Every structure is written in structure tokens, then in C-alpha cells.
Amino acid sequence: MNAPLITIGLPFYNNESTLMLAIQSILTQSITNWKLILINDGSTDSSPSIAQEFASKDKRVLYIDDFQNRGLIYRLNQISDLTETKYLARMDSDDIMMPDRLKKQLDFLILNPEVDLLDTALYTIDELGNPVGLRGDCDIATNKIDILKSTMLNHATIVGKTSWFRANKYDPKYVRAEDYELWIRTHDYSNFKRLKIPLYIVREGRVSVKNYVKSMNTLRIIFSNYGPNILSGLQLKIEIFKTYLKSGIYIFAGFFNFQHLLSQRRNAPLETEQKVYVSEVISNIGKVII
């Protein structure tokens, strides 16, 4: 086997119901020369046992547990420091990789060495694993105003140069919008690209209203720090007002427990054939035995 070019960084916290499938989707990748870093962020459920079992049976896996809950931003920066391969892939512990994800992103990066980060389009599924929609099958934003107004890349789908991640750490001041701030901070001197094909599956459950409000609070900090150099005074006030408005809408929707319908509006609907295809992929991944 050739020396691995890529490491998958997978931090997890109390994901006993989804972690197995996430790991199984790595096992079914069409390339096999990868490394996997599993980091337990202080879980109190059975997810550490799932991760440990996988690590005990596969030498490609590094399991790390410091028995502390430090949060996602700390773990993402820790992963880039630990990675020894040229490329690093993001993954969340409740998501699923399409079987060709790593191969197609690696092929593109090898052919285009000037690219720093590469994301992809993605499918979305609900809490039960039912296919819901498609997102990100469009060009990424390049205009500074557009980049400020909406997140530039699909964070969990990213594969990039490990050296880039090490040189551009996530800032702990921007909890729940750390990726958004990172793209704004770095896009002037970075080369970001997208594969407009869905190579990743994101699980979208019921959105936590509390977490959504925290995200809006962080967005206001981002607008205050970066907006004055990009937006006019009136434009900045409008964008900040929108964060309060969105928070209010989600709080109202959460009162009636239908906030998930707001999140689904970000997706393009799937055709019946697409739903069948995604369901079959997930079913096949779930049959893999560790």
C-alpha cells in the first residue's frame, strides 16, 4: 500500500447513534490509503467504545481521548497539528461520506496544486436517515460582499492542504460560526474551489434554537469586525438587523417545534430517483462490518 496522502479528522461528542455509520462510510471509500484521527471530546455515552473498537482493529486509525470537553474549535485545531499527511479532510460525527468522496477530492487537488481548500455539494438527510435535499451544487462566492453575507464553503465537506490548516487556525472567539469567520479572514490570499457534485451527506435534525441564537450572536461580532471595510454603513445595519430577525423567527418556530422546516429551505428538493439512490448508498454503508 502506498503511503497515505490524506487524513480524516473526526472529533465526536456523545454521538453513539451516528458515529458507527460515519466510520463505516470511511471504510467503504474507494481508496484505502488514508489515516483517521478519532478524537473524543469528553463524551459521556457509548461513542468512545465504538471509536475504540474501530481503532483496535485498524492500524490506520489513531484514537485520542484526554477525557475533557474542550469544544469543536479546539479539536479542529488539534487535528491539524496532529496530521502528518499532505492533505486533511473534515468530517462530522453525524454525517456520511459518499464512497468516492476522498478519491475525487484528492484527484482534483493533485491535479490543481495551487488550490488550498476544496469543498463539494452535499445531500441532506433527516434524523431518521431519510433523504431530504441537495445543497451547494453552485459556484462559491468570490465577491467580498457575498462572502460576508453568506458562508462561502460547506465546512464538513472540505479537503485541503494540511499546511493551510496549520497556518490558518480557527479562532475560538467565533463559536458556532468559526468556519464562516475563517473564510472571510483568509479568502484574499487563499485559493478555494468547489466540486459541484454531492460527495457528502449531512444529517440535519431539529435545529437547536439556543445554538442558532448563539450563531446569530457570533455573526454580529463578525459583521462588526469585518463589515466596516466591506459594507456601507446602511448595509451593515441591515445585515445586523437580519440576525436579530432570524433569531426571532427561529425562537417563534421553536415554540411550535417546526424550526426544522426553516433549515430545509436551504435545500433543493430531490427527485424520487435521487432519494432512492441516496437511501441505497446509506443502506450499503450500514452493512459494513468493522
3-state secondary structure the chain: CCCCCEEEEEEECCCCCCHHHHHHHHHCCCCCCEEEEEEECCCCCCHHHHHHHHHHHCCCEEEEECCCCCCHHHHHHHHHHHCCCCEEEECCCCCEECCCHHHHHHHHHHHCCCCCEEEEEEEEECCCCCEEEEECCCCCCCCHHHHHHCCCCCHHHCEEEHHHHHHCCCCCCCCCCHHHHHHHHHCCCCCEEEEEEEEEEEECCCCCHHHHHHHHHHHHHHHHHHHHHCCCHHHHHHHHHHHHHHHHHHHHHHHCCCCHHHHHCCCEECCHHHHHHHHHHHHHHHCCCC
Bridge partner residues of 98 (DSSP): none
Amino acid 185: pLDDT: 97
Distance CA 158, CA 221 (A): 24
Amino acid 207: pLDDT: 67
Amino acid 182: pLDDT: 98
Q: Is the pTM of this model over 0.75?
A: yes
Written as nine digits, the cell of 246 is 432570524
Amino acid 87: pLDDT: 98
Amino acid 249: pLDDT: 87
Q: Each residue of 39-54: pLDDT tens digit?
A: 999 999 999 999 999 9
How far lies 161's CA from each of 110, 196, 276, in Å?
A: 10, 20, 34
Q: Each residue of 139-162: pLDDT tens digit?
A: 999 999 999 998 899 999 999 999
Amino acid 253: pLDDT: 77
How far lies 276's CA from each of 117, 118, 173, in Å?
A: 31, 27, 41
Distance CA 4, CA 84 (A): 9
Q: How far is CA 183 from the centre of its chain?
A: 13
Amino acid 206: pLDDT: 65
Residue 178, Cβ density class (10 Å: 0-12 exposed, 13-18 middle, ≥19 buried): buried
pLDDT in tens, the chain (290 residues): 578 999 999 999 999 999 999 999 999 999 999 999 999 999 999 999 999 999 999 999 999 999 999 999 999 999 999 999 999 999 999 999 999 999 999 999 999 999 999 999 999 999 899 999 999 999 999 999 999 998 899 999 999 999 999 999 999 999 999 999 999 999 999 999 999 999 999 998 766 888 889 999 999 999 999 999 999 999 999 999 999 999 998 888 776 777 666 667 789 999 999 999 999 999 999 998 77
User: Of 25, 57, 101, 45, which is closest to residue 284 (Cα–Cα)?
Assistant: 25
The 3-state secondary structure of 18-32 reads: CHHHHHHHHHCCCCC
Give every CB contact of residue 43 below 8 A, 6+ residues apart in sequence: 12, 13, 14, 15, 16
User: Of 50, 6, 12, 46, which is closest to residue 29 (Cα–Cα)?
Assistant: 6
Amino acid 209: pLDDT: 83
Bridge partner residues of 250 (DSSP): none
Map grid coordinates 476522498 to a residue.
102
